[in-house]
C-alpha cells in the first residue's frame, strides 16, 4: 500500500513587516538591516518569534529587497514581496497567496521592533486563543504617547476603537494607552475584510487598524515594560534600543553570579555563555558564540569573539577571535589570538604577541613581541622575544613544528616549513632554515665583524 506524505498546515503563521525604506536612517542600507548585538533589527524580531509557538514565519520585504532577502537566506523563513509600500494593511494583503486554505492564527509584527520578547509574543497568542478573540493586539501606557495610535477599551477590557494620533481630539491625545503594532487575527475572519480594505485617508494607504472596528471581540494585552515596543526610525533610536538590549543581558549575567565592574562600558551579546565567578572589567566586549569558564577574568579593554576562555584564565587589553585558551592562562596585555588558535593550560601569551592558527601545549610561554602562525608547539616551550615563524612564501602558508621543552633566543626567525625537535635551543638572532634534531643547539647568524676606527666614506674625503 502506498503511503502519502504531506506537510500539515500550520496553526500559527507570523507575518513580519520589513518592507519600509527607513528614510530617517539616512542610509543606503534598508532600515531593517541595521542592527546591534550580532543581529539585524529584523533578525532580533525573528529570534524572538523562533522561541514561541509560531509554526511558520513569512517576511514581507520591499525596499532593498535583494539585500534583505540575502540576509534572511539562512533563517528558514518565507519571503513575500511588497513592490509598492502602501501601508500595513497592504503589506498583509500580500501574504494571502501563501495562506490559501489556512484556517489558523495570523500574527503580525513590525520588523523594526528589536526589543520585543518571546514572552510577550507568547502571552499575546495565549490571550488571543483563551478569549476566543477574532483579533488581539499589544498595548502599552506611555508617558509621552505622541505619534502612536490611541486604544480605547470597553468595560470588559475588549477594544472599543483605535484612533490614529493625527485624528485624535486634544483630549484624546492625553490618553496614554497606545497601539504597539503587534496583532493576532483569526485569518478566516480577517481576509474577507482585508481584501476590501479602503485607502480613503490623507495618506492614501491601507491601514491594518481599520479592520479592528469590523471584528469582534477584540482584546488587548497590556505589557508592563513599554520599552519592548520601541521602534527604530533613526540612528539615535538605534543607539537607545541597543543600550537597553545590552542592559538586559548584563543584568541577567550579574544575577547569575558574574561580576561586571562597569556595565556602562561593557557589551555582551545574547549568544555568549558565562559561568559563575567570571569577572569582566571595563571596556570589554564579548560577541558571538563565546564561552567563558568559571573564575576567568577579562579586561580591561578586551574583545573576545567566537572563542572559549578557560577557567581562571586572565585576559588583559587583548583581542581573541575564533580561538580557545586553556585554564589558568595569562593573556596580554596587547596580545592578538586568532583564526583557530588553541592555547593549552597554564600558558603565558604576553605583550604584542600574535598567534594565528597555531596550537600551543601546556605551560608554553611567548611573553614578548612575537608572531606564531601555522605552528604546533609542544609543552613547556619558551619563545624568546622577537621570535617569528616565517610561514608565508608569497604563495602558500607552511607549518612550523616545535618540540617539547625547546627554547628560542630573542630575535629568531624560523623559516617554514621547519621542525625543531624536543629540547632544542636556538641562539639569539638566528635565522633557522633547516630542521633541527632533538637536544641540539642551533646558531644560524653571520659572524660578527668589527672594523676599528671606521668612518663613513663621505667623512674621509
37 Cβ neighbours under 8 A, 6+ residues apart: 44, 242, 245, 246, 249, 267, 269, 270
91 three-state secondary structure: helix
Distance, in Å, from the CA atom of 107 to the CA atom of 102, rounded to the nearest integer, reads 13
pLDDT in tens, 213-247: 899 999 999 999 999 999 999 999 999 999 999 99
Mean pLDDT of all residues in 112-132: 95
- In the numeric block, the cell 520588523 is attached to 111
Structure confidence at residue 3 (pLDDT)? 42
Whole-model pTM? 0.89
pLDDT in tens, 40-82: 999 999 999 999 999 999 999 999 999 999 999 999 999 999 9
Chain centre distance of CA 134: 36
Structure confidence at residue 6 (pLDDT)? 43
pLDDT in tens, 137-159: 999 999 999 989 999 998 888 89
Structure confidence at residue 345 (pLDDT)? 98
Record the cell numbers describing residue 43, joined without a space: 533578525
Residues labelled as active-site residues: 368
For the chain, the average pLDDT equals: 94
Structure confidence at residue 10 (pLDDT)? 62
> In terms of Cα–Cα distance, which of 101, 172, 106 is closest to 134?
106
Find residue 149's DSSP bridge partners: none
DSSP 172-235: GGG--EEEEEEEEEEHHHHHHHHTT----STT----GGGGGGGSSSEEEEE-S-GGGG----SH
Has residue 201 got a pLDDT over 60?
Answer: yes
Total number of residues shown for the chain: 461
Which domains are present in the chain? 12-229 (3.90.550.10), 235-442 (2.160.10.10)
pLDDT in tens, 386-435: 999 999 999 999 999 999 999 999 999 999 999 999 999 999 999 999 99
Per DSSP, 4 falls in state -
- In the numeric block, the cell 598567534 is attached to 355
Amino acid at each position: 500500500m502506498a503511503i502519502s506524505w504531506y506537510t500539515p498546515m500550520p496553526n500559527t503563521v507570523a507575518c513580519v513587516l520589513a518592507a519600509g525604506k527607513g528614510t530617517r536612517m539616512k542610509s543606503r542600507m534598508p532600515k531593517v538591516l541595521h542592527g546591534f548585538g550580532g543581529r539585524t533589527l529584523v533578525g532580533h524580531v525573528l529570534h524572538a518569534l523562533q522561541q514561541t509557538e509560531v509554526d511558520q514565519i513569512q517576511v514581507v520585504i520591499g525596499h532593498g529587497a535583494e539585500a534583505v532577502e540575502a540576509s534572511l537566506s539562512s533563517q528558514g523563513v518565507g519571503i513575500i514581496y511588497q513592490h509598492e509600500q502602501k501601508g500595513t494593511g497592504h503589506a498583509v494583503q500580500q501574504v494571502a497567496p501563501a495562506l490559501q486554505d489556512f484556517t489558523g492564527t495570523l500574527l503580525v509584527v513590525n520588523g523594526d521592533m528589536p526589543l520585543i520578547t518571546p514572552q510577550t509574543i507568547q502571552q499575546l497568542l495565549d490571550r488571543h486563543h483563551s478569549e476566543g478573540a477574532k483579533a488581539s493586539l499589544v498595548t502599552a501606557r506611555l508617558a509621552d504617547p505622541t505619534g502612536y495610535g490611541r486604544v480605547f477599551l470597553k468595560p470588559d477590557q475588549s477594544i472599543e476603537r483605535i484612533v490614529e494620533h493625527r485624528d485624535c481630539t486634544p483630549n484624546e491625545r492625553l490618553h496614554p494607552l497606545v497601539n504597539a503594532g503587534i496583532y493576532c487575527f483569526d485569518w478566516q475572519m480577517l481576509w474577507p475584510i482585508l481584501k476590501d480594505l479602503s485607502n480613503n485617508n490623507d495618506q492614501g494607504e491601507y491601514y491594518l487598524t481599520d479592520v479592528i472596528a469590523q471584528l469582534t471581540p477584540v482584546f488587548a494585552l497590556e505589557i508592563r515594560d513599554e520599552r519592548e515596543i520601541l521602534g527604530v526610525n533613526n540612528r539615535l533610536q538605534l543607539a537607545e534600543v541597543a543600550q537597553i538590549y545590552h542592559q538586559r543581558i548584563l543584568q541577567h549575567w550579574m544575577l547569575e553570579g558574574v561580576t561586571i565592574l562597569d556595565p556602562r562600558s561593557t557589551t555582551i551579546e545574547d549568544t555568549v555563555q558565562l559561568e559563575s565567578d567570571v569577572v569582566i572589567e571595563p571596556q570589554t566586549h564579548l560577541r558571538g558564540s563565546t564561552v567563558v569558564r568559571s573564575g576567568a577574568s577579562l579586561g580591561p579593554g578586551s574583545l573576545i569573539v567566537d572563542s572559549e576562555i578557560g577557567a581562571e584564565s586572565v585576559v588583559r587589553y587583548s583581542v581573541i577571535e575564533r580561538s580557545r585558551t586553556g585554564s589558568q592562562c595569562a593573556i596580554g596585555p596587547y596580545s592578538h589570538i586568532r583564526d583557530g588558535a588553541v592555547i593549552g593550560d597554564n600558558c603565558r601569551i604576553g605583550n604584542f604577541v600574535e598567534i594565528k592558527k597555531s596550537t600551543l601545549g601546556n605551560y608554553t610561554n611567548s611573553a614578548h613581541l612575537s608572531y606564531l602562525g601555522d605552528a604546533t608547539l609542544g609543552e613547556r616551550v619558551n619563545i624568546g622575544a622577537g621570535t617569528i615563524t616565517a610561514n608565508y612564501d608569497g604563495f602558500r602558508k607552511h607549518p612550523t613544528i616545535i618540540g617539547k621543552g625547546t627554547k628560542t633566543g630573542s630575535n629568531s626567525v624560523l623559516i617554514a616549513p621547519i621542525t625543531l625537535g624536543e629540547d632544542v635551543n636556538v641562539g639569539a638572532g638566528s635565522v633557522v632554515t633547516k630542521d633541527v634534531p632533538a637536544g641540539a643547539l642551533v646558531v644560524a647568524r653571520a659572524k660578527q665583524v668589527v672594523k676599528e676606527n671606521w668612518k663613513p666614506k663621505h667623512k674621509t674625503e
